[in-house]
Amino acid sequence: MTNFAEDFLEVSEDKAFNLDHRRIINFNIGRYDTAVSRGLSRLANLEQSKRKAHVIKWKVMENLDKLLPEFEANFQKRGGKVIWANDADEANREILSIIRKANAKTVIKAKSMTTEEIHLNEFLEKNHIESLESDLGEYIVQLLGQKPYHIVTPAMHLSKEDIARLFHEKFGTPVDATPDILTQKARELLREKYTSADVGITGGNFLIADTGSVALTENEGNARLSTTFPKIHIAIVGIEKLIPSINDLDLFWPLLSTHGTGQNLTVYNSILTGPRQADETDGPEEMYVVLLDNGRTNLLAQKEQRQGLYCIRCGACLNACPIYKNIGGHAYETTYSGPIGSVITPHLRGMEEFKHLSYASSLCGKCSEVCPVKIDIHKMLLLNRRDSVSEGLSPKAEKIGWKAWKKGMMKRQFMDFVSGKWKNLILKTFFKKSWGSYREMPVVNNRSFSKQWQERTPE
């Protein structure tokens, strides 16, 4: 059984003190900060927009049982098919069934975090189906055999020199190739795959209830190509991605793009409502939407923490987080990393194995400050900590330690009973490892504050 908490500490320490890693991620996030600051300055009333978005998502979560069937009914009216998947296994089985029914052998994929969540590429590979990522960042990490490093920019941890070396090894491009040359090479390699793929698979940024549509937002056009050329299009979308009306895109698309990349609006925005109609020239012959639960109803049942489902996956909280900026995305070993990942993962994948993520925070509140839908992220982290303790998931040593600390803090004579010499010995013996090898232990004065105070003010 994998010990995710121990792995997290080990990888975090390695990444935090890897100077090359710090240089690359700080450079890339620095560019993001500049772009986003410029983009947000163009919004007339940002706070009002964020409050409005929060209320809309609140209404969605309170009425999910009504809005999901509304989306399904409207999508089916246009010839689309809806599949409800309780977990990753069920979603993968249903997707494989569609592919095998069509006797398909190749899949072209647009960027989708839900497909990462269900490990779709690995599943299809085991079943002898070629699945190729078409987003440039996803394509790069797929070539490396890695998982996405970031929700929005999967290859954020790589420099242009790293990517040039990779393409040189794989495709023989010059080792000092410029980003333009590398992009052109990727375009050449992928173009044929679009036209020959049997199935196109995407995620969905938003599900629109009143029109039964899937809204996709992107910058490269790969999602548009993945949904146009193949005869079958499968969209895998979490059940929380609903918005009530197509009019709400007027709010959510700019919020997503400004917080995600700093743009007023991303380059390509598509609204897909079922397969190609009789009077249409483009689009698939069949279109499926897989509505994925995979633990989301567990989070929905937590009245105080269901705010985590409001997330529109802009990645703003990751780029603002001092922890993420030091340890990076791979340390989390989860699909959704950073502050929002630390909030939702214990509910999606189990509190016992992933409660440690809720403690991997300075609680500075920057994540809540930058969130475009005003999720109170740092409060959610505290609530997760509370739940892990109330569920009895704390180690025995920790329980004993806090009990002793509480007893000492409740009565001055208990605090003064142990001298500073013994307190320093206890700190070095029991806390040195958890304090970290790169930090010096604090030194407790031999005389307590009350003793020093008594000496100074004998009266």
CATH number at residue 271: 3.40.50.10420
The per-residue DSSP string of 161-197 comes to: HHHHHHHHHHH---TT--HHHHHHHHHHHHHHHHHH-
Q: Is residue 107 part of a domain?
A: yes
- Residues 262 and 410 placed together within one structural domain of the fold: no
The per-residue DSSP string of 313-334 comes to: ---HHHHH-TTHHHH-SGGG-S
Q: Is residue 30 part of a domain?
A: no
Tokens read off for 21: 């890693």
Residue 213 dihedral angles phi and psi, to the nearest 5°: -120, 155
Q: Is residue 67 part of a domain?
A: yes
Q: How many domains does the chain have?
A: 2
Q: Is residue 2 part of a domain?
A: no
Tell me what pLDDT residue 428 has.
82
- Residues 289 and 434 placed together within one structural domain of the fold: no
Tell me what pLDDT residue 423 has.
80
Q: Considering only the C-alpha atoms of the chain, give the largest distance between any 2 of them, rounded to a whole number of Å.
A: 96
State the sign of the Cα–Cα–Cα–Cα dihedral 161, 323, 343, 61: negative
Query: Residue 284: which domain range?
Result: 43-294
Pick the last residue of a domain from 267, 294, 321: 294
26-70 pLDDT, tens digit per residue, is 999 999 999 999 999 999 999 999 999 999 999 999 999 999 999
Q: What CA–CA distances, in Å, run from 165 to 21, 137, 145, 411?
A: 17, 15, 15, 63
Task: Tell me the whole-structure pTM to 2 decimals.
Answer: 0.91
Tell me what pLDDT residue 436 has.
75
Residues of the chain whose pLDDT is less than 50? none
- Residues 401 and 288 placed together within one structural domain of the fold: no
Pick the last residue of a domain from 251, 269, 294: 294
- Residues 94 and 242 placed together within one structural domain of the fold: yes
Q: Is residue 242 part of a domain?
A: yes
Q: What CA–CA distances, in Å, run from 3 to 9, 331, 337, 353?
A: 10, 13, 17, 7
Task: Reduce the DSSP state of residue 208 to 3 states and report it.
Answer: strand
Tokens read off for 397: 């040593």
- Residues 412 and 282 placed together within one structural domain of the fold: no
Tell me what pLDDT residue 1 has.
58
Q: Is residue 328 part of a domain?
A: no
Q: Is residue 130 part of a domain?
A: yes
Pick the last residue of a domain from 271, 294, 317: 294
Q: Is residue 332 part of a domain?
A: no
Measure the CA angle with vertex 188, ends 184 and 194; round to 5°. 125
Tell me what pLDDT residue 433 has.
77
